[in-house]
Amino acid sequence: MPWQRRAIRRSTYEARGNEIARAFFGNDGQPIGIDYGLHRWAAIYDDRGNTLEKMGFGIDGKPIAGSDGSHRTVVSYDDKNNLLSSSYFGVNGEAILWNKQYHHEEYTYDEYDREVTHAFFGTSREPINGPDDYHKTESQFDESGHLLLVTLSGPDGKQPEKLGIRSVKFTYYQNSNQVETKSYLDDKNQVRQELKYDEEGNEIKSQPSHSLSTVRPRP
């Protein structure tokens, strides 16, 4: 049967109100597949309502992989509901690379629930570069919670080779949460790029250019 995007949805909920399964049917009541052939997905939750696992299945009831290559996603949280890790698996239970990029990612937080580290790993849990060409970020904050420095590492713990950037440094306007400068530094602490902003957050100066734009101050 052709895959269809529009379908009748039938959901199943647990006692706590979490949707634990959803299946798709045509107007004639027959099961259909949508998008990549997905007929039904199922989910598992913790006691706080966080999704711990999610799996997809075809019309024949067999595991099916999504467009990112994964059949099952496994996620963990700490007791404050901060995301700790996510891992991806194929239709046979094997570890796979999500979207051909990474299998597992991990986060750590400080006592104020600010993200301190974020790292990517391969199918054997070996350190690998993630989608933005670095393996790990490590963040430092001041007493007011401003993000001061993000250090980037490759799988070998050194400066990510493709980026040519080791860290990103932030300064702020006095008594303000507004970033004044954002500086990209290499492993010799030399400025590769510096962006300056006015007190409204508009960029007013940039020199020279660099492609890395994914590291931003956390609120």
- 172 contacts: CB under 8 Å, gap ≥ 6: 146, 178, 179, 180
Q: Can you tell me whether residue 166 is helix, strand or coil?
A: coil
Reported as a single tens digit per residue, the pLDDT across 110-156 is: 999 999 999 999 999 999 999 999 999 999 999 999 999 999 999 99
The CA distance from 90 to 96, in Å, is 6
Q: Look at residue 213 and tell me whether its pLDDT is greater than 60.
A: no
77 forms bridges with which residues in the sheet? 83
What integer is the mean pLDDT of 12-16?
95
What CA–CA distances, in Å, run from 109 to 28, 47, 116, 147, 155? 50, 21, 5, 13, 21
The CA distance from 48 to 78, in Å, is 11
Using alpha carbons, select from 132, 101, 159, 117 the residue that is nearest to residue 214: 132
pLDDT of residue 218: 46
Q: Which domains does the chain have, with CATH numbers?
A: 1-100 (2.40.128), 134-219 (no CATH)
Give percent of the chain with pLDDT exceeding 90. Answer: 87
